[in-house]
Amino acid sequence: MCPLALRLIAALALGTVAGWASAQPCLVLAVPSGDTLSVRCGASGAPATPVRVAGIEAPARDQAYGETARQSLSALCLMQPVTVTPKLALRPVGGTVADLSCRNQDAGRHQVRTGMAWADDRGARGHGQPDVPLLHKAAKAQRRGLWADRLPVAPWEWRRAHGR
């Protein structure tokens, strides 16, 4: 059986992803990219955990708009309390995929609405966020954020072109 299938079975058996059964109050310690945060949940000595925002794909940091996307998510969430609601999804490289709420705003919706990320249709539809693709279309039509670029390159295309 493939490793991803084994991890999915393990997550189902535990009823959780990353050991979380439900939404957790956490603190955002770092924002390494426009769609990933490092959070600490629980006591102040607890280890930081990387969490990927469900339903979106932001540009890589060294891609056009990558640093801008990181700064946007950082302005919303860095050193702020965040509610982390894990989704039953496993990243190919491991880790948690979750809905995140900072300052009473859904972080994924914020990034897509402001043109800092693409809607990941598979993730958005699969995680109960059917409005995220609509926010994507609106940001694109209004040329917000990365959509101001004449030819924005989707992160998955950029990674493929750069061997990542």
34-57 pLDDT, tens digit per residue, is 999 999 998 777 889 999 999 899
Beta-carbon neighbour count of residue 159 at 10 Å? Answer: 14
- 157 assigned to some structural domain: yes
- Report d(CA 37, CA 153) in Å as an integer: 23
pLDDT of residue 130: 76
Question: Is the Cα torsion angle 131, 137, 143, 147 positive or negative in sign?
Answer: positive
Q: What's the predicted TM-score (pTM) here?
A: 0.82
Note whether 116 and 64 are within 8 A (CB).
no
The DSSP line for 102-113 is ETTEEHHHHHHH
Mean pLDDT in residue range 118-142: 79
Give the CATH number for residue 155: 2.40.50.90
- 154 assigned to some structural domain: yes
- 16 assigned to some structural domain: no
With a pLDDT cut of 90, the percent of the chain lying above it is: 59
Q: Ranked by mean pLDDT, which of 77-86, 90-99, 115-124 comes out on top?
A: 77-86
Lowest model confidence (mean pLDDT) among 12-16, 71-75, 87-91 = 12-16
Q: What angle do CA 95, 58, 54 make, to 5 degrees?
A: 45
146-161 pLDDT, tens digit per residue, is 999 999 999 999 999 9
- Report d(CA 65, CA 79) in Å as an integer: 22
pLDDT of residue 27: 95
Note whether 45 and 143 are within 8 A (CB).
no
- 138 assigned to some structural domain: yes
For residue 119, what are the β-bridge partners?
A: 56
More confident residue, 32 or 124: 32
- 58 assigned to some structural domain: yes
The total of structural domains in the chain comes to: 1
Residue 137 has pLDDT above 60, yes or no: yes
- Report d(CA 1, CA 156) in Å as an integer: 26
| Structural domain of 49 | 23-161
The distance in angstroms from the start CA to the end CA of the chain is: 25
- 6 assigned to some structural domain: no
pLDDT of residue 73: 98
- 123 assigned to some structural domain: yes
Nearest alpha-carbon partner for 103 in 79, 82, 72: 82
- 103 assigned to some structural domain: yes
More confident residue, 111 or 88: 111
With residue 30 as reference, give the H or E element that holds it.
strand 24-33
